[in-house]
Amino acid sequence: MSEPTPSRPIRFFHRGAVVEVRDAAPTRTVLDWLREDARCTGTKEGCNEGDCGACTVVIGEAAAPGDPQAVRGLNLSTVNACIQFLPTLDGKALFTVEDLKAMTLDAALHPVQQAMVECHGSQCGFCTPGFVMSMWSSYEHNRAFGTQPTRQQLADELSGNLCRCTGYRPILDAGQRMFDLPAVALDTAPVLAALEGLKTDATFSYAGRGTDRFFAPTTLDELAALREAHPKAQLLAGSTDVGLWVNKQFRPLGDILYVGAVDDLKRIDERDGELRIGAGASLEAAWSALARRFPTLTDVWLRFASPPIRNAGTMGGNVANGSPIGDSAPVLMALDAQIELRKGARTRRMPLATFYVDYMKNLLEDGEFVQGLAVPLSVASRAVRAYKISKRFDCDISAVCAGFSIELDAAGAVTTARLAYGGMAATVKRAARAEAAIVGQPWTQATVTAAKAALAEDFKPLSDMRASAAYRLQVAQNLMQRLWLETRAHDPLPTRQTSVFSVMPHATAAQET
């Protein structure tokens, strides 16, 4: 590979024009740039860690031809500006609450803003710009497709926006009211023209005013070469975790290797009897693909963080991070997922269940990175379940997350069992003793009771701010009981009796068992 291109400014489309930033630190956040440099103070800083949604903005990217999710050629995604590093905007468009008023071309408010006024959706107003941007994303998508979201769909889309004073009823009223007002659509033509002018196939290299470099390769080969050349550089995907290292821990990152410009790393497709998920595919795209094939995963998909986090973060990053409370790993282990690693021209695979060796430690070598995940489609013959237990229903970290798959023979005996838990040990791992207590046995209450006892040998959980050790063990055992109640041969509980989402308006017939 040739030497990386010389450092150049960060270039992106904002407020009707292409902006160039030359002297910001590579870890300067979009939020800080907006408020302190661009003087766009409508976007607010709340938690500064991607939880409250006060800083929600919308990122626009040119869509691939035929993309069914595109809004007139543009992909629009809500993200948290507080944890997005400014260089990740290169080649993209940034929309903030200031843009909405400009779209009306007169003294009127945008329909989203007007609906908030009419429905009394704002009290102190601090959270309002973030709500407005999430609602605007919904407005543009639904207007483009000729649809209107249900009240529950609006609630799902706003699950990453917190309100402390007004409450959600008037805000949801406004989310429905905005479609009744005279329509105002984003003119995407000038945005797409600007993005076409910014398009480049060359690796983006940026240093700003410091010595640390930000590299954004555009191909897998370039990424692999840069990773070998800079094995200590910080890999960056959605910044949903790394961003907190800077904001909350004030950690210097050194050189940064950004994977978000590698389109091949974002691919999700079916090949050779497997669902292949590129490590750069967003959490939203990856969970959506899994839920289409395994509808019982819908609950955990919609409860994984929030739309702005799922739009920015990646499943590959969530797995590579190795957090013992990450929600992707237990589900993927239950699906017998393989993880694909790359170093230079070499690729290797292993079961995800063997990838973790200790707390936040894995089998990645220096200069190696996660290239993708592969789920065998044959798992569709099993009963698959995923359960998330957390203090808050939406947008919260799990105390326990369980991923299960089980298969029975014609006589009702268990032939295959995968029982994986997060939050129960230093790593996400399968419950080997509990699995052994099940396989080969009839799927009965007695078998489940034996498996529940074996869980006490599989795990010695810790107590922390989210749950005590005793609570975690009891919950893990209770989830085993729930699995049996839902999958037993005689009188299994239907989904409508066990899933909140199944009785909400957006539930699909495929979710019924």
Give the confidence band of 2 by pLDDT, cuts at 50, 70, 90.
Answer: very low
What pLDDT, on a 0 to 100 scale, did the predictor assign at position 499? 73
Give the Cα separation of 298 and 501 in Å (integer): 8
Residue from 283, 288, 286 nearest 306 by CA: 283
Confidence band, pLDDT 50/70/90 cuts, at residue 301: very high
Query: Mean pLDDT across the stretch 78-97?
Result: 98
Q: What dihedral angle (degrees, nearest 10) is formed by the CA atoms of 287, 159, 157, 503?
A: 80
Axis crossing angle, helix 168-177 with helix 111-118, rounded to the nearest 10 = 130
Q: What mean pLDDT is predicted for residues 475-481?
A: 98
* Sheet of strand 204-206, all strands in order from the earlier edge strand to the far edge: 204-206, 214-216, 256-258, 234-236
- In the prediction, which pLDDT does 344 show? 97
User: What was the pLDDT predicted at 170?
Assistant: 97
Per-residue pLDDT band for 295 (boundaries 50, 70, 90) equals: very high
pLDDT of the residue at 394: 86
What is the rounded CA–CA span in Å between residue 513 and residue 298? 13
Among 49-53, 101-105, 181-185, 495-499, the minimum mean pLDDT is found in 495-499
Helix (H) or strand (E) run with residue 287 in it? helix 283-293
Q: Does the structure show a pLDDT above 80 at 505?
A: no
Domains and CATH numbers, the chain: 10-98+189-263 (3.10.20.30), 105-183 (1.10.150.120), 267-511 (3.30.390.50)
What number is the average pLDDT over the span 496-513?
A: 57
Residue 329 CA, chain-centre distance (Å), reads: 13
How many residues are present in the chain?
513
pLDDT in tens, 337-347: 999 999 999 99
Q: List helix spans (H) across 212-352.
A: 220-229, 242-247, 283-293, 298-303, 307-312, 315-321, 328-334
Burial letters 394-430, b for 16+ CB under 10 A, else e: ebbbbbbbbbbbbbbeeeebbebbbbbbbbbbebbbb
Provide the pLDDT for residue 484.
97
Span 198-220, average pLDDT = 93
Please tell me the least confidently modeled range out of 101-110, 183-192, 254-263: 101-110
Compute the distance between CA of residue 333 and CA of residue 430 in angstroms, rounded to an integer.
Answer: 7
Strand partners, 338: 351, 374
The fraction of the chain above a pLDDT of 70, given in percent, is 96
The mean pLDDT value for 156-162 works out to 96
The span from the CA of 214 to the CA of 25, in Å, is 10
What's the rounded mean pLDDT across residues 155-160?
96
Confidence check: pLDDT of 412 > 90: yes
- The CB density around residue 101, as the number of other CB atoms within 10 Å, is 15
Is a pLDDT exceeding 80 seen at residue 4? Answer: no
Q: Are 501 and 299 in contact (CB under 8 A)?
A: yes
Residue 508 is predicted with a pLDDT of 43
CB atoms within 10 A of CB 218: 17
Greatest alpha-carbon pair distance for the chain in Å reads 72
Q: Which tens digits make up the pLDDT trace of 119-142?
A: 999 999 999 999 999 999 999 999
Place of tokens 């819908």: 298
pLDDT for the residue 408:
96
β-pair type (256-258, 214-216) = parallel
162: pLDDT strictly greater than 50: yes
Q: What gap in Å lies between CA 340 and CA 333, rounded to an integer?
A: 14
Answer for the pair 194, 93: CB distance below 8 angstroms, yes or no. Answer: yes
Query: Average of pLDDT values for 162-170?
Result: 92
Q: In b/e form, how buried is each residue of 252-262, taking b as 16+ CB within 10 angstroms?
A: ebebbbbbbbb
% residues pLDDT > 90 (the chain): 90
Whether the per-residue pLDDT at 279 is higher than 70: the answer is yes
Return the pLDDT at 513: 34
Helix, strand, coil % over all residues of the chain, rounded to 5: 40, 20, 40
Write the CB contacts of 233 (distance below 8 Å, at least 6 apart in sequence): 215, 226, 227, 254, 255, 256, 257
Tell me which residue has tokens 């017939």.
Answer: 509
Candidates 12, 401, 458, 25; CA nearest to 214 is 25
> How do beta strands 400-408 and 414-422 pair?
antiparallel
Phi/psi at 281 (5° precision): -70, 140
Residue-level pLDDT at 392: 87
Report in angstroms the alpha-carbon separations of 296 from 200, 324, 353, 484. 41, 22, 21, 15
pLDDT band at 399 (very low <50, low <70, confident <90, very high): very high
According to the model, what pLDDT value does residue 210 have?
Answer: 77
pLDDT for the residue 414: 98
**Mean per-residue pLDDT for 492-505?**
76
The dihedrals phi and psi of 343, each to the nearest 5 degrees, come to: -140, 110
222/238 Cα distance (integer angstroms): 19
Q: CB within 8 A of 342, min separation 6: which ones?
A: 220, 224, 368, 369, 370, 371
Quote the CA–CA distance of 20 and 96 in Å, as a whole number: 17
Q: Does 293 have pLDDT greater than 50?
A: yes
Residue 62 CA to residue 78 CA, distance in Å, equals 15
Q: Can you tell me the mean pLDDT for 228-233?
A: 96
Mean pLDDT (the chain) is 94
